[in-house]
């Protein structure tokens, strides 16, 4: 799972968006570390706290103001709705009155007294037009006047509702901003930096490169695509790793396979990612070694050639790093790989062999941008070391990149054969490796 974690770190660094510093899950912690590492030497990014851009108090006051305005509009809306209902009632009354010649009513006399009386001339209405002007109209004409008034009121209601909607949108924005500022969200902007693959001395350096390269704030679209790809790759890797754990060591090959297949689609960034991933994996040497060994024994060796090359490079780098530190293990891993019938393992083992045979050249391999070269070198190296046991590496189907070693073509041909993965063999490399490691 370490591989996944490291991989996820780069994933996190891709997204140059707000990072919640209060969350402390591993991904974000590593992301923070990445940023700190990045900002020290490159000093290209800016970290602005949202709370500094929008002070919490001000945002809350603004939100309150908007709420008040909203309530005012609500009250006005209620009033206008009342007018509309009154208008409708009056229309009904005016339509009903002419039905009778007279209506017996209580005629009000001021505010506190009534006279019994009757309504007469039931078809004549005196309508106030405003400014002291009245119009004497029949029932039908009065109804028309009232309907026109009703339309005016309806348009008023519509405008009020539109204003309320705008205010509500404003209020929601203020609310979210206030909550973000209260949580302490930070806006991180980083400029796009030049790719620098020559120096891979440290994992942090690699992380830095990838982060600076991949966390461009400008090319968001590419980032999104990349992110999607990386997410899918991560999922595949996760699945593979799970399977590996189940099979006791065959997950790595799946990862490699997945990585290879994914890389086939990507450009240099993916290669860099893998390289970074590889570099990240160097932290966990033992696990990676196991995984490398197990990769060969995985069932998914029938992936794309290109994917294989990438994974080879991946495994090559890992194994090379391993070999640097554990020369003895190198030999052991070679042996373990030899016993494994899977090409991945073989590639890894060959990586180890390469290291044993030509450590310098192997070291050069990871530093090359060309993904193709690494697998080739791996292949050649493996060809040298594992020539007698070639029959085991039947599943090795990746394309090989040229290298100084002989037997290159032979190795390639042999490598292109497909073989059935044997899970049982995965255990052997692991155990032998363990035995040999100190």
Interface positions with another protein (CB under 8 A): 86-87, 89-90, 93-94, 97, 105-122, 124-128, 134, 142, 146, 149
Please report, for residues 4, 12, 63, 266, 365, the alpha-carbon distance to residue 208 in angstroms, rounded to integers and kept in the order given.
Answer: 18, 13, 40, 20, 20
β-strands 133-137, 125-130: how paired? antiparallel
How near is the Cβ of 60 to another protein at its closest, in Å? Answer: 24
Given a contact cutoff of 8 angstroms between Cβ atoms, the answer to whether 276 and 210 are in contact is yes
Distance CA 149, CA 121 (A): 24
User: At closest approach, how far in Å is the CB of 180 from another protein?
Assistant: 36
Return the number of the residue (155 or 219) whose C-beta is nearest another protein. Answer: 155
DSSP 204-227: HHHHHHHHHHH--SS-HHHHHHHH
Nearer to another protein, 42 or 87 (CB): 87
Instruction: Please state, in angstroms and rounded to a whole number, the distance separating the CA atoms of residues 224 and 215.
Output: 11
Q: Which is nearer to another protein, 53 or 106 (CB)?
A: 106
> Is 43 or 129 the residue whose CB approaches another protein more closely?
129
Beta bridge partners of 105: 117
> Can you read off the two tokens belonging to residue 177?
């901003």
* Start-to-end CA span in the chain (Å): 22
Minimum CB distance to another protein, residue 114 (Å): 4
CA distance 183 to 186: 9
Q: Which is nearer to another protein, 33 or 127 (CB)?
A: 127
Residue 82 vs residues 72, 77, 88, 129, 161: alpha-carbon distances, Å: 16, 9, 10, 20, 15
Q: Closest by alpha carbon to 257, among 342, 333, 322? A: 342
Q: Give the C-alpha separation, 167 to 178, whole Å.
A: 16
- What's the closest the beta carbon of residue 122 comes to another protein, in angstroms? 7
Residues 6+ apart with CB under 8 A from 349: 292, 293, 296, 319, 333, 334, 335, 336, 337, 338, 340, 382, 385, 386, 429
- The least CB distance from residue 156 to another protein, in Å, is 15
CB 215 within 8 A of CB 195: no
Question: Residue 90 or residue 324: which is nearer to another protein going by CB?
Answer: 90
Q: Which is nearer to another protein, 149 or 189 (CB)?
A: 149
Compare residues 125 and 433 and give the one whose CB is closer to another protein: 125
| CB 115 to another protein: min, Å | 5
Closest separation between CB of residue 120 and another protein, Å? 5
Residue number, 125 or 393, with CB nearest to another protein: 125
């Amino acid at each position: 799972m370490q591989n996944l974690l490291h991989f996820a770190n780069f994933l996190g660094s891709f997204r140059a968006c707000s990072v919640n510093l209060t969350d402390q899950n591993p991904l974000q912690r590593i992301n923070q570390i990445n940023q700190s590492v990045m900002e020290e030497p490159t000093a290209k990014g800016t970290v602005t706290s949202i709370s500094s851009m929008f002070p919490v108090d001000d945002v809350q006051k603004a939100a309150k103001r908007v709420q008040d305005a909203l309530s005012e509009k609500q009250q006005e809306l209620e009033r206008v709705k009342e007018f509309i209902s009154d208008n409708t009632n009056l229309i009904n009354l005016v339509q009903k009155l002419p039905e009778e010649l007279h209506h017996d009513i209580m005629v009000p006399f001021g505010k506190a007294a009534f006279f019994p009386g009757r309504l007469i001339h039931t078809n004549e209405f005196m309508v106030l037009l405003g400014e002291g002007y009245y119009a004497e109209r029949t029932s039908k004409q009065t109804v028309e006047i009232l309907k026109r008034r009703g339309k005016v009121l309806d348009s008023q209601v519509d405008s009020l509702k539109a204003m309320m909607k705008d205010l509500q949108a404003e209020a929601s924005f203020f609310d979210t901003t206030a909550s973000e500022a209260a949580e302490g969200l930070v806006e991180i902007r980083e400029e796009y930096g030049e790719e620098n693959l020559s120096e891979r001395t440290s994992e942090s350096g690699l992380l830095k490169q990838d982060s600076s390269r991949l966390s461009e704030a400008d090319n968001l679209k590419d980032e999104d695509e990349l992110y999607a790809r990386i997410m899918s790759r991560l999922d595949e890797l996760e699945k593979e790793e799970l399977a590996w754990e189940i099979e006791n060591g065959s997950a790595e090959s799946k990862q490699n396979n997945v990585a290879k297949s994914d890389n086939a689609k990507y450009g240099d960034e993916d290669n860099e990612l893998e390289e970074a991933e590889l570099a990240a994996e160097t932290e966990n040497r033992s696990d990676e070694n196991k995984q490398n060994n197990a990769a060969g024994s995985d069932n998914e060796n029938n992936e794309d050639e290109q994917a294989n090359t990438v994974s080879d490079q991946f495994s090559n780098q890992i194994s090379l790093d391993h070999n640097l530190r554990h020369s003895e293990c190198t030999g052991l891993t070679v042996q373990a790989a030899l016993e494994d019938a899977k090409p991945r393992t073989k590639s890894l083992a060959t990586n180890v062999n390469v290291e044993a045979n030509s450590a310098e050249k192997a070291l050069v391999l990871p530093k090359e941008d060309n993904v193709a070269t690494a697998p080739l070198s791996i292949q050649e190296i493996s060809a040298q070391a594992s020539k007698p046991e070639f029959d085991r590496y039947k599943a090795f189907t990746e394309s090989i990149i040229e290298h100084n070693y002989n037997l290159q073509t032979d190795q390639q041909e042999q490598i292109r054969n497909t073989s059935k993965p044997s899970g049982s063999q995965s255990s052997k490399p692991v155990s032998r490796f363990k035995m040999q490691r100190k």
